[in-house]
Structure 1
């Protein structure tokens, strides 16, 4: 399955691709959302809400994301150098497709577990929330490019360490990691895109999706729906799941209506 998609073999090492491909995918995928027409009939918030509620300029958001990606790339290079070869010509034996699928699933569970408990603690600890995690919540109305807009320390603890731990525990190779991290990045961007588009495969296959995460970015839902980026398991197990439904907004688009007081 994955072997046939490895177009970079012989040109760039798997470790180099695992370091930089997720960054390229982030800007490409979020950029697509950014250049789309307004699509007001699919928005979870009006453009007026986005302008009034968000507390940070898009230029600042872009700088913050680039800083986090610089840290991620640095840690990734160190991790890959320690755990594997960085030679583009040295071919490692890849596990079978079923093994790679299992490794990716394990990595998804590990990443979800790490991010749930670290994310939740950043909300519960007043100091950490005020000085670190609140930076991400300056985007009350999320949009795609802001998916990784975090305080640098949060980016390191939540995303970078979460990815490294997922990689190590799952036992995946650098080649498998390219696909896993690119998929994780696309899922995270989609969760923050602010659009409920018909036929979106992330909405079809994952209950933890754009609307699910939008609940968490609102004042009434800030103590709920911590799970990210894949499943809603930990919210349901730990009692922090906020049910919701999508309703049509009179002026167009959708509203995520929370069903828990």
Structure 2
């Protein structure tokens, strides 16, 4: 007898599995010093939170996501796992684009507000910025309240507004997870399609994690539209460091 797992459960747990597997790939690739955006020792030298604490924080956030996801699907389905027919491919593509826009919009304005509000930054968002040198599995390291407001609520809104099915959401949230990890990986790998297709990439977000970029480059996880429209875009150039590797440096007017 085969194991029948609902799309709702897959949508809940597959992105979490993707998070740790894809992060693990970047951990293995972190030995490629020529493609690092920071020297190897800077993770331990500049970051003010231990990797053990980061892992615990991510697991807490993922536990919250699991609980809210299961509650949401229970409310929507009335406690019954139903089969939802998949719409045509062009509709699925449109739903993806709508979900990406909704998630980008929600996260830009929430993220920016958490920087502008001194109380929220000090007590909530500064947790994430303890990682001055980002790395892959720290992508979801946040204060639990920020994880709830920024990621979980943003994900729920993108799912509901786009009208995607639970099966489509498996792929959307897995892709969003991959994109967020890529933006925090601390590497600029040649030929990486995510860096080539999206202006919002590992170098772009690395600028935001530095002191000089703290009030810029708020957009995440997909596009940079809101930064450009609202004047918070900080251009940068990738330059080679003398000791090897790359560095994203701001372009000054």
Q: Same fold, TM exceeding 0.5?
A: yes
- Would you say the 8 A contact 1:54–1:140 is kept in 2? yes
Looking at structure 1, the residues matched to 76 and 252 of structure 2 have their Cα atoms a distance apart, in angstroms, of 46
Structure 1 residue runs of 4 or more that deviate by more than 4 Å after TM superposition: 85-88
Looking at structure 2, the residues matched to 85 and 250 of structure 1 have their Cα atoms a distance apart, in angstroms, of 60
- Shift, 1:245, TM fit: 0.5
Q: For 1:245, what is the secondary structure of its paired residue?
A: strand
The answer to whether the aligner puts 1:71 opposite 2:64 as a matched pair is yes
The answer to whether the aligner puts 1:127 opposite 2:119 as a matched pair is yes
The answer to whether the aligner puts 1:42 opposite 2:38 as a matched pair is no
Name the structure 2 match of 1:5.
none
The 10-residue stretch of structure 1 (216-225 or 74-83) with the greater mean CA deviation from structure 2: 74-83
Where do residues 205-244 of structure 1 align in structure 2 (5 Å cutoff)? 205-244=197-236
- Would you say the 8 A contact 2:74–2:80 is kept in 1? no
Q: Cα RMSD between the aligned structures?
A: 1.4
Q: For 1:102, what is the secondary structure of its paired residue?
A: helix
- Shift, 1:87, TM fit: 5.6
The normalised TM-score by structure 1 is 0.93
How many matched pairs? 252
Looking at structure 2, the residues matched to 197 and 81 of structure 1 have their Cα atoms a distance apart, in angstroms, of 41
The normalised TM-score by structure 2 is 0.96
The answer to whether the aligner puts 1:245 opposite 2:237 as a matched pair is yes
Looking at structure 1, the residues matched to 245 and 209 of structure 2 have their Cα atoms a distance apart, in angstroms, of 18
The answer to whether the aligner puts 1:59 opposite 2:67 as a matched pair is no
**CA-to-aligned-CA distance 1:89-122 (integer Å, 9 cap, x gap):** x432111110011001000000000000000000
- Would you say the 8 A contact 1:13–1:86 is kept in 2? no
- Shift, 1:37, TM fit: 5.2
Name the structure 2 match of 1:182.
174
Match of 2:158 among 149, 152, 166: 166
Q: Mind listing any 5+ residue stretches in structure 2 that lack a counterpart?
A: none
**CA-to-aligned-CA distance 1:5-37 (integer Å, 9 cap, x gap):** xxxx97210000010001000000001111335
Looking at structure 2, the residues matched to 36 and 201 of structure 1 have their Cα atoms a distance apart, in angstroms, of 16
Match of 1:255 among 241, 247, 252: 247
- Shift, 1:39, TM fit: 0.6
Match of 1:15 among 8, 31, 35: 8
- Would you say the 8 A contact 2:48–2:131 is kept in 1? yes
Looking at structure 1, the residues matched to 166 and 112 of structure 2 have their Cα atoms a distance apart, in angstroms, of 30
Q: Mind listing any 5+ residue stretches in structure 1 that lack a counterpart?
A: 1-8
Name the structure 1 match of 2:19.
26
Kindly tell me: are residues 37 and 128 of structure 1, through their superposed partners in 2, closer, same or farther at Cα, counting changes over 3 Å? Answer: closer
Name the structure 2 match of 1:155.
147
- Shift, 1:82, TM fit: 1.9
**CA-to-aligned-CA distance 1:183-223 (integer Å, 9 cap, x gap):** 00000001000000011110011000000000000000000
- Would you say the 8 A contact 2:30–2:187 is kept in 1? no
Looking at structure 2, the residues matched to 86 and 93 of structure 1 have their Cα atoms a distance apart, in angstroms, of 18
Q: For 2:239, what is the secondary structure of its paired residue?
A: strand
